[in-house]
């Protein structure tokens, strides 16, 4: 089975929950009309389903291959697909028109992020890193740097990478050792080694634009001494043509559990293999150009990291959707066992109640995480485009609170969903040829790269909750309570149940916020011992809130919509999925609350020697 983008659910979420028709009234968002967005979704769905999805399995089997000269060949069909991707304008969907993009809101681009990652996660990582590099150069680069690099990156003729990690410097970037020596012509010579560089070398683009963290000779120690540099694979001549081969080469690519078609490179800067020779002062190294000011590199790199963290969260939604579709298809076809109520012949396994429970869990978690991601994207758009400064600030705070949840909860969710997908397949799921295992393997990296779940949770606790005394979290809870009031006013049986469960869950989140905000100074280890449960609790509740909002809209369509809406099974299914989420997912909130508020003792009880 290939991939069919859930376009109807995407349209429902962006219009009914994320407020497309409010968003497209804002300055700079006017082009995102319903008709335009519908056309974009339909066309992107075709490209992802027809071109990218068929390469997902073959790319996993074939892998990317490094050759003796340091070049890397991608799996069959990838290069041609990437050319179509660029020609279709998909890289530039939300990037500025001034550099060849379409200038559409982040909300619209988020649907594209989900689709491309569902279709082919390994392929999608290349434009994901380019998006971050484009944002970093756009916001911190010079006018000349923007003119030199952005048009070709936005068109996907060139791609971008993010070079942070070194063998001794993973999450702790204060340990970065790569050096950047200034030259008389204002360039720098960069030397060192970077590891885990996603799409760090490949054959799909004419040039690769590496953004590299390194230290100048006079830099202070720690993270305050890190600067950011542009280091292209090929230098760019004044007329825009490609010049000499720079001294940055791929030493190896990693052999990974998943995302096997994506080349994860070890890059060596300044190994003497390029065409650029040594600097005017005799210093060897790759030619690099400072971005912004010296010693502010980590600050600038966070632009890329924050963009990537949101996108990785949407990768979680994407993999979950693909695993769900695969499991449903298998469950409809696989004949095994008699119906529990009795049947003369064996039935397809979708008839079995526990298979239904697994499929509903997959469906409900995916839909909830999708809605959370889309409303976060809409908040980001409002934070950038709304004419009222106070509204912009509120939306920015809302978006920043949601980013670690989108990244952390959605990726953890994808692991659960992909694992259930294997379980639905039974023994067949453990066999690679059925395809279910690939989603499980691919999903495993999502909770790790671009900041582990614990790093996201620490961010949510420290910067997003404790720092403002829980103000933003409490404002979100107030919105949840407003939805509870709407649910309570309904006579619909399912909505009543959703209301009750959402009320209990929101109270659990409120208690957790009070604990985090109130104890961060007095018992910080206890607070951080429950950081990941706090992130998961926030994800469960905010997802449940969005499912409840969806159920209210669906019930209104059934009760007072057009005749077509009243008969559309989509809306009835939306209500029942929200009811399942309330009964089976929101009920997790109480246990998570207990772990946060009273669970630190068990976490911290043993001494180091007792482990």
Q: Which helix (H) or strand (E) holds 136?
A: helix 121-140
Phi, psi dihedral angles at 282 (to 5 degrees): 85, 5
Instruction: Give me the pLDDT at residue 19, please.
Output: 98
pLDDT digits (tens, 9 = 90+) for 193-211: 999 999 999 999 999 999 9
Which one is catalytic: 321, 450, 484, 510? Answer: 450
pLDDT digits (tens, 9 = 90+) for 376-389: 999 999 999 999 99
Residue 1 has pLDDT above 80, yes or no: no
Residue 139 has pLDDT above 70, yes or no: yes
Confidence of residue 46 (pLDDT cuts 50, 70, 90): very high
Write out the DSSP string of 321-342: HHHHHHHHHHHHH-B-S--TT-
Mean pLDDT to the nearest integer, 547-559: 98
Structure tokens at 391: 């509204």
β-sheet bridge partners, residue 194: 267
Write out the DSSP string of 202-258: -SSSSEEEEEEEEB-TTPPSSGGG-EEEEEESEEE-TTS-EEEEPSEEEEEE---SS
**Domain(s) of CATH 2.40.110.20: residues in the chain:** 53-88+120-295
Residue 174 has pLDDT above 90, yes or no: no
Answer whether 74's CB lies under 8 Å from 116's CB.
no
Q: Which helix (H) or strand (E) holds 182?
A: strand 179-182
Question: Annotated catalytic, 432?
Answer: no
Distance of CA 367 to the CA centre of its chain: 15
> Comparing C-alpha atoms, which of 571, 567, 568 is closest to residue 556?
571
Answer whether 126's CB lies under 8 Å from 159's CB.
yes
Mean pLDDT to the nearest integer, 554-559: 97
pLDDT digits (tens, 9 = 90+) for 264-288: 999 999 999 999 999 989 999 999 9
Rounded Cα–Cα distance for residues 321 and 317 (Å): 6
Confidence of residue 180 (pLDDT cuts 50, 70, 90): very high
Structure tokens at 245: 């081969």
Question: Cα separations (Å) of 174 from 178, 197, 225, 297?
Answer: 11, 18, 8, 11
pLDDT digits (tens, 9 = 90+) for 444-469: 999 999 999 999 999 999 999 999 99
Dihedral, CA atoms, 330, 336, 339, 343, nearest 10 degrees?
130
Instruction: Give me the pLDDT at residue 172, please.
Output: 86
Write out the DSSP string of 552-596: HHHHHHHHHS-HHHHH-HHHHHHHHHHHHHHHHTGGGHHHHHHHH
Fold of 53-88+120-295: Butyryl-CoA Dehydrogenase, subunit A; domain 2 (2.40.110)
Structure tokens at 570: 């989509």
Q: Count Cβ atoms within 10 A of the Cβ of residue 602 and give its class: 0-12 exposed, 13-18 middle, 19 or more buried.
A: exposed
pLDDT digits (tens, 9 = 90+) for 285-322: 999 999 999 999 989 988 888 889 999 999 999 999 99
β-sheet bridge partners, residue 289: 230
Distant-in-sequence, close-in-space partners of 80: CB < 8 Å, separation ≥ 6: none
Rounded Cα–Cα distance for residues 413 and 57 (Å): 22
Instruction: Give me the pLDDT at residue 171, please.
Output: 84
């Amino acid at each position: 089975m290939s991939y069919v983008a859930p376009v109807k659910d995407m349209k429902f979420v962006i219009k009914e929950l994320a407020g497309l028709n409010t968003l497209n009234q804002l300055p700079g968002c006017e082009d995102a009309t319903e008709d335009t967005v519908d056309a974009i979704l339909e066309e992107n769905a075709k490209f992802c389903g027809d071109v990218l999805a068929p390469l997902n399995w073959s790319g996993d089997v074939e892998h990317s291959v490094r050759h003796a000269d340091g070049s890397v060949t991608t799996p069959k069909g990838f290069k041609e697909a990437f050319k179509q991707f660029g020609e279709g304008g998909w890289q530039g969907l939300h990037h500025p028109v001034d550099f060849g993009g379409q200038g559409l809101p982040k909300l619209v681009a988020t649907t594209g992020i989900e689709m491309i990652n569902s279709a082919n996660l390994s392929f999608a990582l290349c434009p994901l890193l380019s998006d971050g590099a484009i944002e970093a150069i756009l916001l911190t680069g010079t006018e000349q740097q923007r003119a030199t690099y952005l048009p070709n990156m936005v068109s996907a003729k060139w791609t971008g990478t993010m070079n942070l990690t070194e063998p001794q410097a993973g999450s702790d970037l204060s340990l970065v050792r790569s050096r950047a020596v200034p030259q008389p012509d204002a360039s720098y010579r960069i030397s060192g080694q970077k590891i885990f560089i996603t799409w760090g070398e490949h054959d799909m683009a004419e040039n690769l634009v590496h953004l590299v963290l390194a230290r100048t000779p006079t830099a202070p120690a720690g993270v305050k001494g890190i600067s950011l540099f542009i280091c292209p694979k090929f230098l760019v001549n004044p007329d825009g043509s490609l010049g000499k081969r720079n001294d940055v080469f791929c030493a190896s690519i990693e052999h990974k559990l998943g995302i096997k078609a994506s080349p994860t490179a070890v890059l060596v800067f300044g190994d003497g293999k390029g065409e650029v020779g040594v600097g005017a002062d005799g210093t060897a190294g790759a030619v690099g150009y400072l971005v912004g000011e010296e010693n502010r590199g980590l600050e600038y790199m966070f632009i890329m990291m924050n963009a990537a963290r949101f996108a990785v969260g949407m990768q979680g939604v994407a993999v979950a959707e693909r695993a769900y579709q695969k499991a449903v298809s298998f469950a409809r076809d696989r004949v095994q066992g008699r119906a529990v109520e009795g049947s003369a012949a064996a039935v397809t396994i979708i008839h079995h109640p526990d298979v239904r429970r697994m499929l509903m869990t997959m469906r409900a978690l995916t839909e909830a995480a999708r809605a959370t991601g889309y409303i976060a994207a809409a908040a980001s758009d409002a934070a950038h485009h709304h004419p009222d400064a106070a509204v912009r600030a509120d939306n920015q705070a809302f978006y920043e609170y949601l980013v670690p949840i989108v990244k952390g909860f959605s990726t953890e969710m994808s692991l659960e969903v992909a694992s259930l997908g294997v379980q639905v397949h039974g023994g067949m799921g453990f066999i690679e040829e059925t395809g279910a295992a690939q989603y499980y393997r691919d999903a495993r990296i999502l909770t790790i790269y671009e900041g582990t779940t614990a790093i996201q949770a620490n961010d949510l606790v420290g910067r997003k909750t404790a720092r403002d005394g829980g103000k933003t979290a409490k404002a979100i809870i107030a919105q949840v309570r407003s939805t509870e009031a709407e649910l309570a006013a309904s006579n619909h049986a399912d909505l009543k149940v959703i209301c009750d469960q959402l009320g209990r869950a929101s109270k659990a989140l409120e208690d957790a916020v009070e604990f985090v905000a109130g104890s961060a100074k007095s018992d910080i280890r206890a607070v951080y011992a429950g950081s990941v449960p706090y992130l998961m609790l926030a994800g469960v509740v905010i997802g449940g809130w969005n499912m409840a909002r969806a159920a209210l809209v669906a019930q209104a369509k059934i009760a007072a919509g057009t005749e077509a809406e009243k008969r559309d099974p989509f809306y009835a299914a939306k209500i029942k999925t929200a009811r399942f989420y309330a009964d089976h997912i929101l009920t997790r909130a109480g246990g998570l609350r207990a772990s946060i508020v009273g669970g630190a003792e068990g976490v911290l009880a043993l001494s180091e020697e007792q482990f």
